[in-house]
Homo-oligomer: A and B are copies of this chain.
């Protein structure tokens, strides 16, 4: 009845807040609506489907992640930049696990808007790799390798897969990143030959 003056951005913002605090798992449109003092059906005046909502939140998450990475590597070069980037990625995953999960649930195949989002993920990594003398194709491969390491690590850590052994998890991550730097330097040397 009483107009609440809700905007699209309000909806997205509230959804993000809810997901971060209550968890992606227990999120629902009805709960979101209720928190906005609205009926679930009324949400459809602002969004076209739950899929669209998740996609938009995914965009937000990706841009946040991108920002965090660029902030971290600012003014840094080579190994130091790689470490800072990896650290920022790891921190993002640990501090905002539910939002990170939204990124994972994005079906990157679908539309091309998502393709540009995928580009956003790649950007900071490519920026870091630019500090190394690498062939363009090598850079593409190595970018994938670094993403695999970072994503694989935090998603397994988050899932609790790393509790099997008592070894310190941060140490493992550091070793993974050092291994990647080793590979980078190796690739650089080979290119010179």
Contacts and interface: CB of A to CB of B under 8 A. Distances in A.
A144 to B, nearest CB: 4
A183 B179 contact: yes
A169 to B, nearest CB: 8
A148 interface: yes
Contacts of A121: 161
Contacts of A2: none
A163 B121 CA distance: 12
Interface residues of A, number: 46
Contacts of A179: 145, 179-180, 182-183, 186
Contacts of A144: 153, 156, 162, 165, 167, 169, 172, 176
Query: Copy number of this protein in the oligomer?
Result: 2
Contact of A175 (B118, B161, B176, B183): B183
Given A108-B163, A161-B118, A164-B122, A147 B156 contact: yes
B107 A176 contact: no
A118 B164 contact: yes
A131 interface: no
